[in-house]
Amino acid sequence: MKKQEAFSDMHERARRLIDREQVEGLTPEESRWLHDHLAGCEACSACSSSTESALRALKSVSVAVPPGLASSTTLKVREEAAMLRQRRARNLWLIAGCAASWMAGVASAPLVWRGCEWVGTALALPRIVWELGFLSWWLVPAAAVGLVILWIRTRAEGEDLNGLLEAGRRSNKG
């Protein structure tokens, strides 16, 4: 019974020394004792190598991950800021274009109205016909502008989606 206790104490001492070897190092005497024990004890030897490989993995993880993670996060933030600026500029141009086309429409409306009236009178058309002609002159550009806005929106959404996919692919790789 007493002998077995001493035996298990020996293994416990070996495990303690294995841990200390990794953290603070051992005296030459302790180191010699440990290596003698490890040479004769399979269990403690396995424990030692698994501790070593676990520590090695931990070290390589703690060194490799944060810089890669940080740089990919910075890149993503920068890309998103650029995308936002681009989208804002695009919206500004869209608003300017709409305003310009609207002003041009308003400015030329009396002229077009008079033109329609003249054509209607000359061709002896019913008033409703040339009035509809004037209305369609109003409606066609509005419809065209609406289509252009729709097209730009769809394209922008496609670009955003591509950007997201690209970023996801890159973060998966890194």
Question: In Å, how far from its chain's centre is CA 110?
Answer: 52
Among 21, 33, 41, 75, binds Zn ion (CB under 5 A): 41
Rounded to 10°, the helix 42-122/2-23 angle is 40
Find the shortest distance in angstroms from Cβ 56 to Zn ion. Answer: 22
In this complex, which beta carbon is closest to Zn ion, that of residue 11 or of residue 35?
11
Q: How far is 174 from 171, CA to CA, in rounded Å?
A: 5
45/72 with CB nearer Zn ion: 45
| Radius of gyration, alpha carbons of the chain | 40
Q: Which is nearer to Zn ion, 47 or 75 (CB)?
A: 47
Give the phi and the psi of residue 82 in degrees, each rounded to 5: -65, -40
Question: Rule CB under 5 A: is residue 13 a binding residue for Zn ion?
Answer: no
Helices first, then strands: H and E counts in the chain: 4, 0
Please give the structure tokens belonging to residue 50: 């698994």
Q: 38 or 116: whose CB is closer to Zn ion? A: 38
Site pattern 66..95 for Zn ion (x: CB under 5 A): ------------------------------
14 forms part of the interface with Zn ion (CB under 5 A): yes
Q: Examine residue 44 and tell whether it contacts Zn ion (CB under 5 A).
A: yes
**CA–CA separation, 134 vs 116, rounded Å?**
6
Where does this chain touch Zn ion (CB under 5 A) — which range of 38-46, 81-89, 104-112, 166-174?
38-46
In angstroms, the CA 167 to CA 174 distance is 10
Q: Which residues bind Zn ion (CB under 5 A)?
A: 11, 14, 41, 44
